[in-house]
Chain A
Amino acid sequence: MVSPAVLGLLLFVLAPFALSFLISFTDLSLGSPHPMHWVGTLQYERLFHDPALARALANNLRFALVVVPLQTALALALAVLLHRPGWRLAGLYRAIFFAPVVFPMSLVAVIWRYLYAPGLQGPANRLLSWLSLGHWQARDFLHDPEWALGALMALSVWQGVGLQMVILLGGLQQIPSDLYEAAALDGAGPLQRFRRVTLPMLRNTLIFTALMTSILAFRVFDQVQILTHGGPAGATSTLMFELVRSAFERLQMGRACALTVLFVLIVLLLTGLQRLALRQRAL
């Protein structure tokens, strides 16, 4: 018996993936007059030796290593600050922090292109100059190979922190208040209550949001496409950016499908890690 849910999964998720998997063993190229051939693992071998992909993956990894901890910590701090039962303004602040989540990337890009404007007229440059008491050298963030990726990270944290915060707030609301009362009577101060009650009770939610952010870090595309187009000189190129370029600019479907398979493998790996983390101490 195949239930409708399983059927849907087969049809809409597994079938396209199976198709990509098959195509990744061919040299299918949409613009080419040559017929398609089976090429075995050639696409994968090429990917393995492709410096552009290595660069892109390194960027993704760096993105994940910075954005995941930063965004998680920031979201946790915001959630803890906004979690005050009976505080009437909490809803307003929550809405403000959540707003960027629902902004379309085009709007976000407009805002941040302005913020990152080169020269001392650019708000980001002006802020840094003010903070450093005038020592800051104005830069063109989005076109500076050293700074472009960092600039995209900042933007992504800004846009993503709201969602993570809302999920963590939900987690905080699940913690029974009598645990805090018991801990207070046991002699725990606010910091100890945070460390010994809040953090362990929030553990699974934290793991979940960290996984979500990690996957998003390997999926970064919109920002890159709109603001830097992978540049300067590949400094902000990412896996997804490479993939889309292969498929839609160079029309190399074989390569694009091999990249898709790679992406799915990464997601599976991350999900596996999450499972492992959840299982450890669950017993």
Chain B
Amino acid sequence: MAEVRLHQVNKIYQGRTPSPKAWWEFWKSSSTPSQVHIVKNAELKIKDGEFVVLVGPSGCGKSTTLRMIAGLEEATSGEIVIGDRVVNNVSPKERDIAMVFQSYALYPHMTVFENMAFGLRLRNLPNHEIEKAVKQASELLGLDKLLQRKPKELSGGQRQRVAMGRAIVRKPQVYLMDEPLSNLDAKLRVQMRAELQKMHRRLGVTTVYVTHDQVEAMTLGDRIVIMKDGIIQQADSPLNLYERPANLYVAGFIGTPSMNFIPVTLQDGELVASGFRLQLPEDRRAEVGNHNGKALVLGLRPTDLSDSPSALSMQASVEVIEPLGSENYLYCSVGKDMVAARVDGRSTVRAGDTVTLGFKAEQFHLFDAESELAISHSRGGKSEGA
């Protein structure tokens, strides 16, 4: 077990794009070098035994980050530390890492058993220990009846579980998991998530886990790292991400349905939107003081809005109602903006009605419209500079 540290890590792919040229220049370099900057100045410290989840849109560099930690991809610059050694020049084999590949990467010529046992065999473990470890993992993953099959005789979900099994039979310094549950059905996924949690609690191995699934991230992660365009937006506990998002992107990413964003301007302690004006409460004024006259974004979670007047309120006309049984979601227009709100399931509001949406004075976020950074958080949160 070990801590993992990324210090100012960059990944730049040296691509070559074909360049048009005259035929008599054919012997000259047939392409011009081009650079793709995939991971930008990643700074991350993962504590020993911590479960960190990487989330972000497709193509943002999650797998690349994981592969750099594993040593499958060289960091263009910066330092990668596992335990107490800088591993930039250490081969993957020497890093003592187990990884679940997004593509599974099962050995097609080996049975499920052999796939899982391979890493143990290479470490010269005695046979009975190998069998015990594989048996344990395969029971945990529900693979015990499939041990003699070849990967091509398995479904996608079964293959993914074998890939998972191959990693968990080992006791490495670090687990790296690249969307290990993405191909399972909903029920199995919930079950596996629970097993993963149990396993992590028992073994306490440092884990870096990539997923697209917000619920998975929130339930599994001690800490969640949100990436976008190769830049780490925020790395924090699930609760902090929800309550104190560092910028507009994180605020919109965490929480379902996502936060309402309403463009406003600050005019002498008053927020002016297209459909309403709000008097800022006394305690929030100090935080936004130097933003007078500027364009801001008001962030309101649908769950913090109700259809009854409150300390702060606005007039909204209901456009669409989404009934979910115990609760309804209203999609309303407020001036030129759309706002989603959660109301009680027994509410009699109908499409076309005009309602008063109210929220508590401490339950809204403010962001700088230009830099997109948070200025003021709900629940009396303090201003966050950069």
Contacts and interface: CB of A to CB of B under 8 A. Distances in A.
B240 interface: no
A184 B93 CA distance: 5
Contacts of A179: 105, 107
Contacts of B119: 185-187
A182 B109 contact: no
A178 interface: yes
B1 interface: no
Interface string A146-182: 0000000000000000000000000000001011011
Contact of A182 (B91, B95, B99, B123): B99
A137 interface: no
Contact of A203 (B93, B103, B105, B109): B109
Interface residues of A, number: 19
A181 B72 contact: yes
A203 B108 CA distance: 12
A197 interface: yes
A178 B109 contact: no
Interface stretch (A16-24, A112-120, A188-196, A245-253): A188-196
A186 B118 CA distance: 7
Given A186-B122, A192-B122, A201 B109 contact: yes
A170 B107 CA distance: 19
Nearest to A186: B119
Contact of B101 (A182, A192, A200, A201): A182
B105 A178 contact: yes
Nearest to A283: B150
Contacts of A200: 107, 109
A201 B152 CA distance: 14
Interface residues of B, number: 21
B108 A201 contact: yes
B97 interface: yes
Nearest to A188: B122
B99 A196 contact: no
A265 B119 CA distance: 46
Contacts of B118: 183, 186, 188, 196
A46 to B, nearest CB: 48
B92 interface: yes
A197 B97 CA distance: 19
B53 interface: no
Interface string A223-242: 00000000000000000000
Interface in B304-349: none
Given A187-B122, A187-B123, A192-B122, A182 B107 contact: yes
Interface in A261-283: 281
B107 A187 contact: no
A188 B105 contact: no
Interface of B: 70, 72, 91-93, 95, 97-99, 101, 103, 105-109, 118-119, 122-123, 166
Name the 3 nearest CB pairs between A and B, nearest first. Answer: A186-B119, A178-B105, A182-B105
